[in-house]
Amino acid sequence: MSMDLTVKQLRDGLDSREFSAREITQSYLDRIEKIDGQLESYITVTGEKALAAADKAQQRIDAGESAPLTGIPMAIKDNICTEGVLTTCASRMLENFVPPYNATVMDRLEAQDTVLLGKVSMDEFAMGGSTQTSAFKKTKNPFDLTRVPGGSSGGSAAAVSADLCGAALGSDTGGSIRQPASFCGVTGLKPTYGRVSRYGLVAFASSFDQIGPIARSAEDCGIILNAIAGYDYHDGTASKLPVEDYTAKLGMDMKGKKIAYVSEFFGEGVDDEVRNSVLAAIDSYKAMGAQVVECSMPSLKYAIAAYYLIASAEASSNLARYDGIKYGHRSEVEGSYNDLVIASRSEGFGDEVKRRILLGNYALSSGYYDAYYGKAMGLRQRIREEYAGIFEKCDLIITPTAPSVAYGINENIHDPRKMYQADFCTVTVNIASLPAISTTCGYNADGMPIGMSIVGNMWKEADIIGAADAFEKTFVRRSAAL
């Protein structure tokens, strides 16, 4: 049985009885057992639960009552709470944490009888762009095991790319869905902030975090977004806007659509092969009848600084709850209350998490708040205004997803500044709360995938999914080597 099936192909195969939900689930579990020792994408595999869920889904299919995701085997990023299933955030701090409740997105997937194959690795507490800060599984790239899969949703992207699940959920705070999708040659969607409930998502930076799908196609991303989007009274930031059909604009006619070319996204720091592939994709849209409008975003050069100040400030607040007393790792060090808290946090958190807590605390501290955090928030508003100006003239913006292809496992890991700078193509979308989708638009000389991002105005997920689908219909995607 072929394993490189899209969600739509899996749905058709299940409904036509070409294979059963148990058969396809077992095939994925067998493949995980066979190759994930090399890839290290899964932290927890829920084999028995998956097969039981598959049998339940099959009853629904046999009754002719299947929903779009009924019986579809999926992987879930390990910062999304799953009732009764280990949720570690790839951190020693939560090594033994089993949530007593589901995240809202999990309830919505289970309502359709989706099959949970397991929880996949990530950068610790979603802080990183390589999945090498994971305390448990340092995931590798399916196209080249000597390279990173990206991050922080690297386990999700690698599992989809290596045919270890039908699709996956990730979370995106500054590019953590789109960048690994680019590195692993799959499609990843970051919805508008508030479009998908964050209830049950372990918080990193609460004003940026957003859950979204990683899959083999834009169509698949639309199908999954249909299932997980919508208002949730548990999340005060969830939008009350009605959920539309995010697959409604598949096959969208690009004639007359205006695409913004923002020169700053293509300048210094972007590899030539990446730049040329994305420009070739823009030419493909022009051949479909789209118009290209040159635009500028002067604040882009400050975006990395603003993002890391705001995100780290929010992280330092969110992670203050992990003190070794209420829950999480508890040190065996004896001494005072302060000794216990210091030892528990020192042992439980990795270097990258500690680095961002320190940066966040510094930015929020007395005497530095106005100089750093206050100015970063002002810049956030300016970036939002620049995007609004572009969308007054254009329908979509196309940029590289990352300035390079996936790099070597040990190449940037010890240079945080270089790692942070690599996010400049993605962070402004989170700063401005916009939706964006990354899809493969080429390959470099070594055969590594190159991704482009299509950015839309707020709540325009259907438009960017339709535009990505229009390109995917013209592009031949390669399979991973693994």
Note the residue count of the chain.
482
> Could you list the pLDDT tens digit for every one of the 482 residues in the chain?
678 999 999 999 999 999 999 999 999 999 999 999 999 999 999 999 999 999 999 999 999 999 999 999 999 999 999 999 999 999 999 999 999 999 999 999 999 999 999 999 999 999 999 999 999 999 999 999 999 999 999 999 999 999 999 999 999 999 999 999 999 999 999 999 999 999 999 999 999 999 999 999 999 999 999 999 999 999 999 999 999 999 999 989 999 999 999 999 999 899 999 999 999 999 999 999 999 999 999 999 999 999 999 999 999 999 999 999 887 899 999 899 999 999 999 999 999 999 999 999 999 998 899 999 999 999 999 999 999 999 999 999 999 999 999 999 988 777 777 888 889 999 999 999 999 999 999 999 999 999 999 999 999 999 999 999 999 999 999 999 78
| Sequence-separated (6 or more) residues with CB below 8 Å from residue 427 | 174, 175, 303, 304, 307
Starting at the edge strand found earlier in the chain, the sheet holding 291-295 runs 42-45, 115-120, 73-77, 167-172, 210-215, 187-190, 436-443, 449-455, 396-400, 258-262, 291-295
- Contact call for residues 416 and 352 (beta carbons, < 8 A): yes
Q: Which two tokens stand for residue 390?
A: 């572009």
What positions carry a catalytic annotation? 77, 152, 176
Beta strands in 121-215 (DSSP E): 167-172, 187-190, 210-215
The token pair that represents 35 in the structure block? 């190759």
Backbone angles phi, psi at 22, to 5 degrees: -65, -40
- Domains belonging to the chain, first-starting first, are 7-254 (3.90.1300.10)
Contacts of 8 (CB under 8 A, 6+ apart): 217, 219, 220, 223
3 state SS of 71:
coil
Which residues are CB-neighbours of 476 under 8 A, at least 6 positions away? none
Angle at 136 between CA 134 and CA 141, to 5 degrees: 65
Q: Quote the pLDDT of residue 420.
A: 86
Our CA angle for 302, 274, 263, nearest 5°, is 45
Residues 6+ positions from 297 with CB-CB distance below 8 Å:
262, 264, 265, 383, 386, 387, 390, 428
What Rg, from alpha-carbon coordinates, does the chain have? 21
pLDDT of 136: 98
Closest Cα partner for 193 from 181, 180, 205, 179?
205
Single out the residue of 133, 174, 152, 158 nearest to residue 425, CA to CA: 174
In degrees rounded to 5, what are phi and psi of residue 408? -65, 150
State phi, psi for 397 to the nearest 5 degrees: -125, 135
Cα–Cα dist 107/381, whole Å = 34
The pLDDT, as a whole number, for residue 300 is: 96
Amino acid at 405: V
Q: Please check whether residue 195 is in contact with residue 186, taking contact to mean a CB–CB distance below 8 angstroms.
A: no
* Residues in CB range of 317: below 8 A, 6 or more apart: 360, 364
